[in-house]
Amino acid sequence: MHRPDPFDAKCPTRQVLDRIGDRWAVLILISLEQRTMRFNELRRRIEAISQKMLSQTLKSLERDGLVNRKVFATVPVTVEYSLTPLGRTLSQTVHALTLWAETHIGEVAQAQQRYDQGEAAPETATTPPR
């Protein structure tokens, strides 16, 4: 077995990372973690998302085996989206990330303020490295 190297652009691990990078994908995962939803339900839930991005993102999530798409032949047609078991494991991992965000957002905000103010006071460190 070769160990995956996210620094190699060809590494599939990188592709997964890129998926996480998709903000819409993350929001969809979080939504579906709570319960199965229909297309327009998701649309209302996420609010800012355009219908194009929603259908597009759902499609790629389905392709990755993270989301189930179930069509019911009602009139008009009904489509239910839910997490697959695989998708559930991912959404839990992502949850750890949102937890970090909620916990440390204050520190980040403070750091930003300090940085933005202190632009006039450039620390002149002078000690040589070695």
Using CB under 7 A as the criterion, which residues of the chain lie in contact with DNA when the complex forms?
Answer: 22-24, 38-41, 48-53, 55-56, 58-59, 69, 76-79, 81
User: Rounded to the nearest whole angstrom, what is the least distance from the CB of residue 126 to a second copy in the complex?
Assistant: 5
Q: Which is nearer to DNA, 70 or 104 (CB)?
A: 70
Closest CA to 29 of 37, 103, 100, 51: 37
| Strand residue runs (E) in 34-96 | 37-38, 67-72, 78-83
- Cβ atoms 27, 49 nearer than 8 A: yes
User: What does 39 interact with, of a second copy, DNA, none (CB < 5 to 8 A by kind)?
Assistant: DNA
User: What does 20 interact with, of a second copy, DNA, none (CB < 5 to 8 A by kind)?
Assistant: a second copy
Q: Return the biggest CA–CA distance within the chain.
A: 74
User: What does 77 interact with, of DNA, a second copy, none (CB < 5 to 8 A by kind)?
Assistant: DNA
User: What does 118 interact with, of DNA, a second copy, none (CB < 5 to 8 A by kind)?
Assistant: none
User: Rounded to the nearest whole angstrom, what is the least distance from the CB of residue 1 to DNA in the complex?
Assistant: 29
Helix, strand, coil proportions of the chain in percent (round to 5)? 60, 10, 30
